[in-house]
Chains A and B, each alone.
Chain A
């Protein structure tokens, strides 16, 4: 079974702090994704990566950056956390080129910025 883990289930930070959210997958997937989920807005793609050190902006990249130094790990960085970044953050991975695009999700990190 594919396993995607996220470093924290719940996180509370203060405005202006630098925040790191870590995601690790154990199935050698090339693609990894970061989403945020807010009530009524569904999942919105922040960034994704299709290979080590490769990344592309999603729909809402502002205020975020990412790092993918190793294939299994994809980090989301909030350079200076703000209250409007309070949200549920979901990481996912997938295998490209199989014509299915099925994504495997981690359990999520609920981030609160005070």
Chain B
């Protein structure tokens, strides 16, 4: 079952605009991560936010986490054509150690940047 669900499933914006993607999850978590996947390639880790953090920045990326609403958002500012990819949130549920290393991926948002 998918813990994280991204919204929207697909997003198309003009180059230079900001892109916002949302992720909702169901159980309590230790942390939430965002990954990026270029077409036909593996996933690349972008940013991690821990359950006791509310906001985190990395370059043009801004991630927020609202544990009361069990949701997160990823904002990409000043988008570029090279940002075209699929973006996945992944949650690390706060369960016992035997499962501590497993993370659960959502189904992703496909982002297209129009030149």
Contact = CB atoms under 8 A, between A and B. Distances in A.
Interface stretch (A12-20, A36-44, A68-76, A78-86): A36-44
Most buried by B among A40, A42, A106: A42
- Give the interface SS of chain A, mostly helix, strand, loop or mixed: strand
Nearest to A107: B42
Contacts of B33: 101-102
Contacts of B30: 99, 101
Interface residues of A, number: 31
Contact of B88 (A42, A94, A106): A42
Contacts of A96: 100-101
B26 to A, nearest CB: 14
Contacts of B41: 107-108
A90 B90 CA distance: 15
- Classify chain B's interface size: 20 to 34
Given A59-B1, A99-B31, A108 B42 contact: yes
A105 B90 CA distance: 14
Contacts of A94: 101
B101 A31 contact: yes
Given A42-B88, A102-B33, A4 B42 contact: yes
Contacts of B31: 99-101
Residue from B50, B90, B102 having most chain A Cβ neighbours under 10 A: B102
Contacts of B43: 43, 90, 92, 103, 105
A48 interface: yes
A104 interface: yes
